[in-house]
């Protein structure tokens, strides 16, 4: 038996999943993981201090699949500010928090969250 609708819009109405958008779909249906852009500003006293931070990056963040982009900013005197920018999914965030706690014991760390919103976050 076949049901016929009297509603002319019923055949053309989008499914619930397409109305929700691609990002809210499960991964097995082609959804994408929600990512956020984090920017960390780490004040390093000298080159040896910066090498310790980069060693912490390689043994804490990189095994978790996080690969930060690095930049240097001049600080006061001999100090430098190491800026790490990385995209992080919610499951990876615990490794980022672990890294911040590890590094912030010895040196000041400032971090900011910039949610990924189209092309604005990728132009940095």
pLDDT tens, position by position, 7-64:
555 555 555 445 445 455 555 655 556 888 999 999 998 889 999 999 999 999 999 9
Q: Residue 83's pLDDT is what? A: 93
Q: Residue 64's pLDDT is what? A: 92
CATH of domain 35-117: 3.30.70.260
What gap in Å lies between CA 74 and CA 84, rounded to an integer? Answer: 14
- Which of 71 and 22 is assigned the larger pLDDT? 71
Could you give the strand order of the β-sheet that contains 80-88, starting from the edge strand earlier in sequence?
Answer: 69-74, 80-88, 36-44, 109-115
pLDDT tops 80 at residue 118: no
CB < 8 Å & 24+ apart, contacts of 94-99: 95/60, 95/61, 95/64, 95/66, 96/38, 96/61, 96/66, 98/60, 99/56, 99/57, 99/60, 99/61
């Amino acid at each position: 038996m076949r049901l016929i609708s009297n509603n002319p819009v019923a055949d053309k109405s989008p499914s619930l999943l397409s109305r929700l958008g691609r990002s809210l779909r499960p991964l097995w249906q082609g959804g994408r993981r929600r990512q956020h852009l984090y920017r960390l500003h780490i004040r390093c006293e000298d080159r040896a201090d910066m090498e310790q931070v980069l060693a912490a990056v390689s043994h804490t963040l990189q095994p978790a699949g996080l690969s930060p982009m690095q930049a240097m900013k001049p600080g006061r005197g001999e100090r430098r500010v190491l800026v790490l920018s990385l995209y992080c999914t919610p499951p990876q965030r615990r490794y980022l928090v672990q890294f911040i706690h590890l590094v912030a014991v010895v040196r000041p760390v400032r971090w900011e969250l910039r949610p990924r919103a189209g092309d604005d976050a990728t132009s940095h």
